[in-house]
Amino acid sequence: MSVPPAPENFGELVQIIYSSRSLLGGEGLSAGISDILRISRQNNARDDITGALFFNGRAFAQVLEGPQLAVSNLYASLLKDKRHTDVCLLQHEYITRRCFEGWAMAYVEGAGGQGFTITPGFLHDALHRSNGSSGPVLQLMKYVMAER
């Protein structure tokens, strides 16, 4: 998972899923989320990245899909971003089809208990229960989006 891609794989489509703990809070919270979404939608459209960001007030979970090099560069920026911490890479897969085609960054927000729950361990557990396959987790994410 941490092995850098070989140059011949730079253009291949990859999908990653990570979770992290939010450091946003207080009065700046909604402005902070708006900033993230604005820059994400702008950059991701430019870099051919699609995906979804989930936020429950405490934790983020994000699916990112796109060319290997673009996704790796974004992940490197994300690791340095002071708006969250405990970034945990849960999945890194080569894909042939995107799950979030057409979404420069879909956004789902909810409070734990009010519809859906994300804790940093939640997706990890869900992936573990499905033997490392991201299918069920992605289905859950799409379901949560469709319900809103």
Ligand X SMILES: Cc1cc2nc3c(=O)[nH]c(=O)nc-3n(C[C@H](O)[C@H](O)[C@H](O)COP(=O)(O)O)c2cc1C
Helix (H) or strand (E) holding 82: none
**CB closer to ligand X, 43 vs 130:** 43
Residue 19 contacts ligand X per CB under 6 A: no
Region near ligand X per CB under 6 A, out of 4-12, 80-88, 125-133, 138-146 = 80-88
**CB closer to ligand X, 36 vs 123:** 36
Residue of 59, 63, 78, 127 that binds ligand X (CB under 6 A): 78
**DSSP per residue, 93-119:** EE-SS-SSTT-SSEEEE--TTTT----
Residues 88-127 touching ligand X, rule: CB under 6 A, are: 105
Residue 54 contacts ligand X per CB under 6 A: no
How many whole angstroms separate alpha carbon 37 and alpha carbon 26?
A: 18
**CB closer to ligand X, 6 vs 102:** 102
Q: What is the phi/psi pair of residue 101, to 5°?
A: -50, 130
**How many CA atoms does the CB half-sphere of 132 hold within 13 Å?**
3
Q: Which stretches of the chain bind ligand X, using CB under 6 A?
A: 36, 39-40, 43-44, 53, 60, 62, 74, 77-78, 81, 83-84, 105
